[in-house]
Structure 1
């Protein structure tokens, strides 16, 4: 079990971010998307990101817990079963034909089966998921460190971000996507997870593969990941702000 020396500061930052997210969920999202307020929020986000990285070193770890702390059932939220026909066909065959595509600004665009990912060196960690809705849950995750996967395909020099393209359309709307910068992507606790609590990842929690970025709030933890795209900007994606919820007023930087 790891208890990092900066855990008190992390709890403070987490509380601040959760409180802010709760306000947004409570109806402040219209204000956050207004043209007059957006530059102020963008400046505040940049300041928050810089302050967080001054407080926490590049290698600082999110707290890891003991097995007795694991919740009996890990709460699922958002989409719990994508209804897209292609995803349903893959799920019906236990994702045998599913492939993770990694492309964009990489040297060797590649595809990986679930079996291939499971055969790679893995990491297991027991961590707490903090949601902007105000709840938390502790679970044990096993998966491939994202940095190791990126090294296999070779990240090209212009790349700045990893974009996670997902199978679901939240509430029948736009395709879900999220992103991290390369610094967070290479953090040792950032995983592409295929197992939860010593069992195959359930569909409700994001099967066959989901992101775990343990120094970020829960809305960054993309589920049902189908493709990783290395990019130098978000200009060609959605609303250009780096994620499904970010396009709707959430902050792109969600570090805790």
Structure 2
């Protein structure tokens, strides 16, 4: 049964990759085509059931060796946020950056990069799989998201972790402010051992194209779930009030919320 499920997953991903090549799906484009949406829905159902029932909630994504690291790691999604506050932080080396943690928590907090780096860290060499069909292997270091959540004291009603980011993927309509990127994951994913807020990439601080100063790595899901330029973490019981109510920027544009690999 496992081999059969994996074969079907490969077929679906192959179709998505082909459509991505036509500009109908991918980390840098929309997914408004009805066929793409149906394929995404099938993939979401299949991978969620496979990972939950067969792999288990705590199974690890494969980790690689230093020799496996890709010579070039293609940046996904936004690459140069134009938000003025972000640009000011970047110009000063993110010295004044503060990660906000709030929502359904007992102890809201703000953390500097130095404070985040002082927390227990995890380093992992993993493969990044993009819905467009490409993959790269990189080395990521950061603080486990579960550590941040435990320090904040999550309230019982909480169900999701939302990441509010500095990039604004869409151009603003006349007279309107551009909407900032946001994404979300559930607590099973948030507390996974390999889910980290990465501040280093391949042994050096993150650079802007890869999400500086802080990006999410949730290794058992596709790349579009790995929010970059994270400015605020909000713990919520529902994401219906955010964006168009689907749980993230890409989800508001037709992608599925769960994107397991």
1:208 and 2:208 correspond? no
Alpha-carbon separation, structure 1, partners of 2:257 and 2:44: 8
Residue in structure 1 matched with residue 28 of structure 2 by the alignment = none
Alpha-carbon separation, structure 1, partners of 2:18 and 2:179: 24
Give me the CA root mean square deviation. 2.6
Q: Provide the TM-score with structure 1 as the length reference.
A: 0.88
Residue in structure 2 matched with residue 175 of structure 1 by the alignment = 180
1:80–1:58 CA distance, 2 compared to 1 (3 A):
same
Structure 2: any 5+ residue segments left out of the alignment?
A: 26-30, 172-177
Structure 1: any 5+ residue segments left out of the alignment?
A: 1-5
The aligned runs of 1:1-256 (5 Å cut-off) are 15-16=10-11, 18-19=13-14, 21-22=16-17, 25=20, 26=22, 27=24, 29-32=31-34, 45-46=44-45, 48-172=47-171, 173-256=178-261
1:208–1:11 CA distance, 2 compared to 1 (3 A):
farther
Q: Is the 8 A contact 2:164 2:181 kept in 1?
A: yes
Q: Provide the TM-score with structure 2 as the length reference.
A: 0.86
Alpha-carbon separation, structure 1, partners of 2:40 and 2:71: 38
Q: Is the 8 A contact 1:17 1:254 kept in 2?
A: no
Q: How many residues align?
A: 247
* Alpha-carbon offset, residue 171 of structure 1: 4.2
